[in-house]
């Protein structure tokens, strides 16, 4: 899961689309050079040509900052470099007056198609992620949550573990009543960003509704999940929220954790985590409780 704010994700998408357009322009110029037997650009003949084109400048500089964590980003780079290697071979043959070998041209076309496919995949992932983001907190919304959990369930059926957790802010209604909904919104935004910053890259985080969030912890049993989330809510509790003309306040969170059961519908595991959450509330809040059979 990409851990970006919605503004950062929109920026990354715009940059990717601009870089993709520059790549298309480069390909058109390459075709013109080959067809018209024009003098090729010296940069396209170098072994590091993939770093010198406009797309390469983006990929190895701002692109790596914006999208370096996306699993498809590395694939784009590999196909881009391979495509340039094939293009360089074509251009050198053309410059020498040698006919371009059909096999070499087909390799170039295949590399170009593969690169474009990788770009399209990452672009679509960003668009889907933006569509599924909660507009207030920037966390993924419930829209794709169940399907993502079912995918995790398929993985654990092949061996492995996964935990799900429900996180709820303590006394959040009191904050809304005392300070107003605008400050309540700032609290939700601050907590969501804090949690996303302190989860692992593989973890999944969703705004479930109101002041509740759902967390999916792949390859993590409930004991390890409890320890991880205990550290996360310590970070949440340390967050200061400023109030005009008043002393800053802090908020705590309660969490319930349950195994993602491979044999039951994912909704059952969510319900178990929810029951553990209520137990955490009953035991004094600001803690993580794991589900057991006595909770129903």
Active site residues: 211
Quickly list H helices, 205-265.
222-238
Are 154 and 263 spatial neighbours (Cβ–Cβ below 8 Å)?
no
Q: Which residue has the tokens 């479930």?
A: 208
CA distance 42 to 46: 7
Residue 105 vs residues 35, 76, 171: alpha-carbon distances, Å: 12, 20, 66
* DSSP classification of residue 41: P
What is the DSSP secondary-structure string of 91-120? Answer: HHHHHTTPPPPHHHHHHHHHHHHHHHHHHH
In the block, which residue shows the tokens 């770009």? 119
């Amino acid at each position: 899961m990409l851990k970006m704010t919605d503004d950062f994700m929109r920026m990354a998408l715009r940059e990717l689309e601009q870089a993709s357009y520059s790549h298309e322009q480069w390909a058109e110029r390459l075709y013109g050079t080959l067809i018209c037997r024009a003098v090729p650009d010296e940069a396209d003949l170098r072994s590091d040509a993939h770093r010198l084109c406009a797309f390469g400048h983006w990929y190895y500089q701002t692109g790596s900052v914006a999208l370096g964590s996306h699993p498809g980003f590395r694939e784009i780079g590999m196909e881009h470099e391979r495509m340039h290697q094939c293009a360089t071979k074509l251009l050198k043959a053309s410059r020498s007056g040698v006919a371009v070998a059909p096999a070499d041209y087909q390799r170039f076309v295949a590399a170009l198609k593969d690169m474009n496919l990788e770009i399209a995949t990452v672009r679509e992932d960003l668009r889907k992620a933006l569509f599924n983001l909660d507009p207030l907190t920037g966390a993924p919304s419930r829209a794709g949550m169940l399907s993502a959990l079912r995918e995790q369930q398929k993985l654990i059926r092949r061996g492995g573990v996964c935990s799900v957790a429900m996180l709820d802010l303590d006394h959040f209604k009191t904050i809304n009543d005392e300070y107003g909904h605008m400050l309540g919104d700032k609290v939700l935004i601050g907590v969501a960003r804090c949690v996303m910053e302190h989860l692992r890259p593989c973890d999944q985080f969703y705004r479930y509704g109101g002041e509740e969030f759902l967390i999916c912890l792949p390859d993590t049993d409930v004991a390890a999940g409890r320890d991880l989330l205990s550290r996360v809510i310590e970070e949440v509790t340390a967050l200061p929220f400023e109030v005009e003309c008043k002393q800053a306040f802090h908020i705590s969170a309660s969490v319930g954790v349950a195994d993602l059961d491979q044999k039951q519908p994912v909704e059952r595991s969510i319900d178990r985590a929810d029951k553990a959450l209520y137990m955490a509330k009953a035991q004094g809040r600001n803690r993580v409780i794991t589900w057991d059979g006595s909770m129903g």
